[in-house]
Structure 1
């Protein structure tokens, strides 16, 4: 049986080469770098978005601010932010992480806000009746009830960031996008296809793992209600 030809054949040959995976700067190294940038970007976004969204949802104020921040951050293309940062001297992974963190803010902010704002009013009133302070109501009542939406926001955000990180290669950064960039630069389109497939598979694997984590993070009574 003859070997596959064309771009698909080149991609399969490249992916089946053990050195492609294990050599320094190979797929495993680039995937690790890709995941590290994702973790850092999402952590930065979460450190800003979740506390702000929780406070705004608890206070009942700031709906206009949430909408404005969401629309403003979505209106700016991630690649545009990377290139803007590059013009100020920030290149590679640093520029990509900052741009990806900015891109990750809207979903986390909206989901946290809506989750806290939509917490069961009866549970909130019962907590007030027990003399709980506003801070305790937020941390012990509203946020646990918002877990499902917050976890869903994290899941969506992480997958989106994983799919966005390949843009790092356009600013001299690493990650799996480097495979795509190198393939385009050398006209090895089999590598371009292989790089795209690797990013897509990584997104699917992470989404599957996070789906399980989201279910485990949801309190049992809420899981039963969803079912």
Structure 2
């Protein structure tokens, strides 16, 4: 099939309202995809972030946890998905998919949050400790705001990876936009396959955009930077070499 025909046919497939509505339509698959993404990302954050923040705060055991989580990246997500599908969990709906994707999302969240905590400006941290802040106050009011940029980078990375990987859920019979792609493969419908891939890519970009906006709105240092920009500049001091008014040269 010529490239021009594929582009035209893909556009026609996307413009056909019948492909979007009804059981198995794009809207239904999109809802499944978003639900799985949000559920898996929320569970991964609930597991990885508290652990990483605590280990980064106490400065012990974090390197081991990060290395173990990075080893988990070497395990193919699809292999975990298939193995879990063969266990009794396979009879419980989307649980195999959720567990596999949570395991896939934990490493970038854990690594970025831990590194962000350990790379927080130690001078600022020690100054806060010298002011009498308790351990929890030091964590929430000093270390966490300083680590926030790297934490959000990990969240964005994990979210985009999960959006792309949820597509694999369709192979063992799960939901999501991957079902659009697998249905196209079964019927040798190349425009449908391309359309499904474009939809996944568009969703990943949309999720990235939403998280970038959330990053800017939730940044705990945002108000401080705005206050500093709004503060009037200090008047320049008179140079010691310049003669004062009325002085005899």
TM-score with structure 2 setting the length: 0.83
CA contact 1:30–1:174 (8 Å) conserved in 2:
yes
Query: In structure 2, what is the equivalent of residue 12 of structure 1?
Result: 11
Shift of 1:149: 0.9
CA contact 1:50–1:109 (8 Å) conserved in 2:
yes
Q: What per-residue deviation string (whole Å, max 9, x for no partner) do you get for residues 182-208 of structure 1? A: 111121121111100110111112212
Which runs of no fewer than 5 residues in structure 1 stay unpaired?
none
1:84 and 2:83 aligned? yes
Shift of 1:222: 6.4
1:179 and 2:194 aligned? no
Shift of 1:102: 0.5
Instruction: Tell me, in whole angstroms, the C-alpha distance in 1 between the residues paired with 2:107 and 2:225.
Output: 24
Instruction: Tell me, in whole angstroms, the C-alpha distance in 2 between the residues paired with 1:195 and 1:224.
Output: 46
Tell me which of the two structures has the higher relative contact order, counting C-alpha pairs closer than 8 angstroms and 6 or more residues apart: 1
Instruction: Tell me, in whole angstroms, the C-alpha distance in 1 between the residues paired with 2:96 and 2:154.
Output: 23
Shift of 1:150: 0.8
Query: In structure 2, what is the equivalent of residue 36 of structure 1?
Result: 35
Query: In structure 2, what is the equivalent of residue 131 of structure 1?
Result: 132
Instruction: Tell me, in whole angstroms, the C-alpha distance in 1 between the residues paired with 2:129 and 2:137.
Output: 10
Query: In structure 1, what is the equivalent of residue 238 of structure 2?
Result: none
Q: What per-residue deviation string (whole Å, max 9, x for no partner) do you get for residues 132-178 of structure 1? A: 22122112211121111111111111111001100000111000000
CA contact 1:73–1:105 (8 Å) conserved in 2:
no
1:31-180 paired onto structure 2 within 5 Å? 31-91=30-90, 93-180=94-181
Which runs of no fewer than 5 residues in structure 2 stay unpaired?
229-249
Instruction: Tell me, in whole angstroms, the C-alpha distance in 1 between the residues paired with 2:225 and 2:21.
Output: 44
**Aligned structure 1 segments of 4 or more residues deviating by more than 4 angstroms:** 221-225
RMSD: 2.1
Query: In structure 1, what is the equivalent of residue 192 of structure 2?
Result: 191
CA contact 1:108–1:150 (8 Å) conserved in 2:
yes
CA contact 1:7–1:189 (8 Å) conserved in 2:
yes
Aligned residues: 222
Instruction: Tell me, in whole angstroms, the C-alpha distance in 2 between the residues paired with 1:117 and 1:146.
Output: 8
TM-score with structure 1 setting the length: 0.90
CA contact 1:100–1:164 (8 Å) conserved in 2:
yes
Shift of 1:126: 2.2
User: Structure 1 residues 36 and 224, CA, compared in 2 at 3 Å: closer, same or farther?
Assistant: farther
- Secondary structure of residue in 2 paired with 1:75: coil
CA contact 2:52–2:62 (8 Å) conserved in 1:
no
Which piece of structure 1 moves more, 129-138 or 49-58?
129-138
CA contact 1:215–1:223 (8 Å) conserved in 2:
no
Q: Look at both structures and tell me which one has the larger radius of gyration over its CA atoms.
A: 2
